[in-house]
Amino acid sequence: MAEYLPEITNDSVCPVDAKEELLDECESIWKQMEECQSKLMLLGTETLLKSDAKLSLLMMRLKALTAEYNQWQKRSPEIISTNPDVLLALGKEELQKVKNDLEMVLSTVQSKNKQLEEDLKREQQWHEEQEQILDVLNGIEEETKTQVEQLSIKSLDTRAFHELQNKMLKLKIYKEELLNALGEFLEEHFPLPEKGGSTKKKKNSSEEPAVELITLHEILEILIKKLMSTPHEPYVTINDSFWPPYIELLLRYGVALRHPEDPNRIRLEAFHM
């Protein structure tokens, strides 16, 4: 936007005569103001001995000031000078100030937008990396389970079996750390409506105990466990403890899928496939 702003030039500089004329007019107005100030000072120094006379004088001053105030309210501003050269120079100066202010605002907005774009790219990259790590871990876990089953069938020696167990333990620990980190991120950016929030149902005009809402982290854990434990039947039934906005969020962004025949059942998208 900055390059489309018209360039304000100083080709027609205010002539010397126009400047002198403007200075003379300003000097004349300043003298009038000094005269008014002197009169006000003289009025302010008057002293009256009788309280009734002072009150009367103050009332007269109040009326005079009120009338003067009303006159100034009705009065329209006067142009100091009618010289076109003076007005042109003053107009250019004001336009230059407006241009400088607009350029400063534009620069600030562009800088802020650039910073926001960089922050968004970093957050998106971090999110993609976390998803990739989770997919890799799911694949490694599946492969490890298969290897354990094969090694058990072949009756591997105790040493190899223990080494594999240690690897699985380390893998589980790393997975838990990753899930904890993901849980902290979800709790920070996707909290419940309020801590300890709950939903209430009424049946037969009697109020039942409140149902505690579960976090988005817990919802994802339920979906992941269901998918890993029974991949042939990965659907989970939605109950009152599932907060509807979080279910809608998972469905909208393709993290979860709704059952084609039962809308009250959802499953986790099989990213590891």
Secondary structure of the chain in the HEC alphabet?
Answer: CHHHCCCCCCCCCCCHHHHHHHHHHHHHHHHHHHHHHHHHHHHHCCCCCCHHHHHHHHHHHHHHHHHHHHHHHHCCCCCCCCCHHHHHHHHHHHHHHHHHHHHHHHHHHHHHHHHHHHHHHHHHHHHHHHHHHHHHHHHHHHHHHHHHHHHHHCCCCHHHHHHHHHHHHHHHHHHHHHHHHHHHHHHHHCCCCCCCCEECCEECCEECCCEECCCHHHHHHHHHHHHHHCCCCCCEECCCCCCHHHHHHHHHCCCEEECCCCCCEEEECCCCC
Q: Which of 107, 87, 123, 145 is nearest to 1 (CA)?
A: 107
Q: What is the pLDDT along the chain (273 residues), one digit of tens a residue?
A: 444 444 544 554 445 666 677 777 778 888 887 887 777 667 655 554 456 677 878 888 888 888 887 877 776 656 666 677 777 887 888 899 999 999 999 999 999 999 999 999 999 999 898 999 999 899 888 888 888 777 666 655 677 778 888 898 998 898 788 878 877 787 777 777 665 444 444 444 445 456 788 888 888 889 988 888 888 899 999 999 999 998 999 999 888 999 999 999 999 887 655
Alpha-carbon span 193 to 213, nearest angstrom = 9
pLDDT of residue 228: 87
* Cβ-based burial of 162 (10 A; exposed 0-12, middle 13-18, buried ≥19): exposed
Tokens encoding 21: 């004329």
CB 202 within 8 A of CB 190: no
pLDDT of residue 190: 78
pLDDT of residue 156: 54
pLDDT of residue 58: 83
pLDDT of residue 272: 57
User: What residues form DSSP beta bridges with 267?
Assistant: 257
CB 232 within 8 A of CB 246: no
